[in-house]
Amino acid sequence: MNRKRIIILTVAIIVLAGMLVYTGTIFAQTPTLYWGSSGSEVSKVQSKLQAWGYYNGPVDGHYGAGTFNAVKKFQAKNGLSADGIVGKATWQALGFTPATGAARTTQKYTPSRGVSGRDDIMLLSRVVEGEALAEPYQGKVAVAAVILNRVDSDQFPNSLAGVIYQPHAFESITNGFANRAPSEDSIKAAQDAMNGWDPTYGCLFFWNPSKPVSSWIWSRKILTQIGAHVFAK
């Protein structure tokens, strides 16, 4: 939920690409090490310090008190701030070249061109049209917001198309009403929801209480009513 929501809210329609970059840095050679770190990187440091006579504990890959003290001693001797943290400078002093913060690509970068927010708004507004045609404007924004909340929720598919086309999720999708062209109001409502307006404050369900619905849905906590729909978490 909210996983993507905060950033989407923060900068409207900016696309998040951080995750890819994150996986790219996973294999960086010289991570910052400190008390409590473990792994082969710690072993590397331990054996180096052992060879140079700063460390006489076991090379076990666990950054404990012994390693901490050895690192501090090493740092003090080498004119580094003796904080016991193996950062870039310490790695370098130990004789490891740190991976530079940014890898240089050798090929010329081609600007991207495939992204437009338009498709999402049209898809969303068609469901709004199908589900909330006769509802007041706030009710339309609310329906759009519920769909977006589902995308962010752990209980529903992870994409807008996945949520909208989830079998039996929306009546207007099942019976094909959502294939009609959306009205100006529905598009505006979808846009407001995309820009972060959520009159339901995080609801995941809505239904018309005067129509028959399956009984389990009534077990959800109803937060508010807008027009003919009640909204629940």
Site for other proteins in 112-131 (CB under 8 A): 112, 115-118, 121
Residues in contact with other proteins, shown as a per-residue x/- string from 34 to 53 under the rule CB under 8 A = --xxxxxxx-----------
Q: Are 186 and 178 contacting, i.e. CB atoms less than 8 angstroms apart?
A: no
How far apart, in Å, are the Cα atoms of 87 and each of 58, 82, 144, 165? 22, 11, 47, 49
CB of 221 to other proteins, least distance (A): 8
25 contacts other proteins (rule: CB under 8 A): yes
Number of residues that bind other proteins (CB under 8 A): 83
CB of 142 to other proteins, least distance (A): 10
Residue closer to other proteins, measured from CB, 70 or 203: 203
Q: Are 171 and 131 contacting, i.e. CB atoms less than 8 angstroms apart?
A: yes
CB of 222 to other proteins, least distance (A): 8
With a CB cutoff of 8 Å and minimum separation 6, the contacts of 220 are 204, 205, 232, 233
CB of 149 to other proteins, least distance (A): 11
CB of 217 to other proteins, least distance (A): 8
Angle at 188 between CA 182 and CA 192, to 5 degrees: 130
200 contacts other proteins (rule: CB under 8 A): yes
162 contacts other proteins (rule: CB under 8 A): yes
Query: Cβ-count burial of 99 within 10 angstroms (0-12 exposed, 13-18 middle, 19+ buried)?
Result: middle
21 contacts other proteins (rule: CB under 8 A): yes
Residue closer to other proteins, measured from CB, 118 or 210: 118
* C-alpha R_g of the chain: 27
